[in-house]
Chain A
Amino acid sequence: MPLSFLIYLKGDSLQALAFHRSLAYCVSVLLLATLAFTARAESRATLEINDEIEIDIVTFGEPAKTGIIWFACRQGEDAIEFAIARRLASKGYQIYFPDMLSAHFQSSLPSNIARIPAAEVVAVIEHIIDNTSAERLFLLAGARAAVPVIRGLADKKLQQMDSKLKGALLITPRIYKTTPDPGSEPVYIDEAGLSIHPILVLEGERTPNRWGLPHLAATLKKSGSRVQTDLIDGVRGYFYLRDYQTPAEREMTRQLDTLIHDNLQKLGAN
């Protein structure tokens, strides 16, 4: 027991003791509540795809009506995606982060992200669909991480399920086979245009890729997806992943949870 507390007890009454007991009680309750919330707000599970591939899935937020499966370029405590996920959780979403790269002992290079096998993406989505209490699920990805999402959406099994999967939000997606040559139409990965789910594409206003939006939308619509596109003012491509951001990009990154929330509404999140 702290010395000051003993001295205080010695010299005073039961009232003081009651006060300190109450204080200790309140602090304990607060601490326990925080710990309980944190534990519920973030959990980890492992999905065994086969004997060799196990995919960790980190989940943020309480069970909710709307779930987000975020195929993120980065994972971990200092990833902006995790910070945004916590804010989305406070807005009433449950967010799932499958760590697709660690399963293959690969670093988060864009080229590695683009090589994630579609079968594993589909297995993760199916697993979450089967185990979530959410009524609807949306896929979320940015930059090259949009490649595995587009590959997953092209999967016939996912398309035939009476699924909770309601669409995908792609933020400054890069699904080119190679950077388009001047004077030539962009060429996308083969699976672009094989999806049927609604897709919303957000592109930076300050990137030449914005001029490819009509072409991208036309491609993604080919098998029946309803495709919407929109520009994000004042930012370049994959703005929230950049080390050197302009003030406008920093501000938009701060508001990324709101941006995601608002655009999921457009996809029918609520």
Chain B
Amino acid sequence: MNDDTKVLEREQLDLAETLRRSDVDLRLPAVVPREPFPIEPLTVDARQQTHAVGQRATRLDGRLHGLGQTKYIDDLSFPGMLYARIKRAGIASARIKRIDTSAAEAIPGVMAVLTGSEIPVNSFGPTFQDQPVLADPIVRHAGDGVAAVAAVTEQIANEALAKIVVEYEPLPAVLDPVAAMREDSPKVHAPNSNIYATKVVRKGDIEKGFAESDRIFEARFSTQMIEHVSLEPHAAIADWDANGRLTIWATIGRITLARADMARTLKLPMSRIRIIGTIVGGNFGGKNEISQEPALALLSKKTGRPVKGVFTRGEEFTATTTRHPIIMDYKTGVSNKGRILARQIRLVLDGGAYCSWSATTLGKACILSPGPYKIDNVVAEAFVVYTNKTMTGAMRGFGAPQVCFAYESQMDDIAKALGIDPLEIRLLNAFDEGSSSPTGQVLHSVVVKESLRKAADRFGWEPRS
């Protein structure tokens, strides 16, 4: 069997070699063979990779990055390409009464203007399809797009945005996530409740745990909204060709998901859509879904020309996803010796105007909220709610850094109140090999205590209690 394979490979190689030679023979003498770039190509020795750990590896694309030759979206351009800009609402909650684009369309160089009503299916999202490409008629946060323009230059597109007149009827806005949970709160996605996903983790008997505790500590922690600020802004180029095929070059980490979302919003079979994920200039979770791409595609369809859209740094902050601010209530029962006996947690995630990856973040934040500690009695409840703010979504850690801030802060508070060294209280409670997490997962390769001890040695931790 093995011998047969070898024979087959050899034959294929020979065939390839024959073809290559015939190709060389066919070349006209006038054609100078292209010289290879004489800089030594960056190749990795396969044998060096067998023991990857501890090896110094260089990035395979580092060469091009350093030469400035990497092609990010904004480095690409196509003949006849137009520049798109999106007009942002600038109001947190409103109903659009009227959009007048006639003055914008009259500007020489403006090739097309698009509003929400022209989008075949004006909703998308990786979890719930609750986000419009362009708001129509309800604006749910200030960064919502209300109209898009394609023009021959960026300056003309900007000028056109200023000429678009939008009349709004302001609606009551919800900005505080806790207030948004009340029944009588204005609804961001009326008539639905503002609470759009929940998760509960229970382990043991929380009441018994608190009853057995010597001390009970209660505190509220909160974190702020954080933007990814990848150095490369969100950018895409759409080309809807005369054959009805759509090609999108985009800074998207999840091109398959993007393709499904595009097919849905444009009512176009997926087979007609090709998405090319270029090298991404920083993602950090902020480029895991489509944003302006359907609008660019429709502008390209209207004009018959490729259309490029690059967000400004301002849009990056107002119109792309951010990290969830979380209000975290911790109630922890401990013995006088510092052993945690019960922990009750309530998380309220500010989900912003649209879901994006909130449900995923909610789950991870909830599961990890008790911390890496052996606690027999746990109740963790988490809610993610709509508010009229910039939508929150995926960002490095999916909710884990926020809850880590809360449980570690409380560990310090408990240690201080009980007069125990902060390192000791963690060593007393931390997971061991075979410990089970609040969801019942049995953990292996647990080195948290070893890591803590080594870290303490390294930075010269001395007990302060």
A and B held together in a complex? no
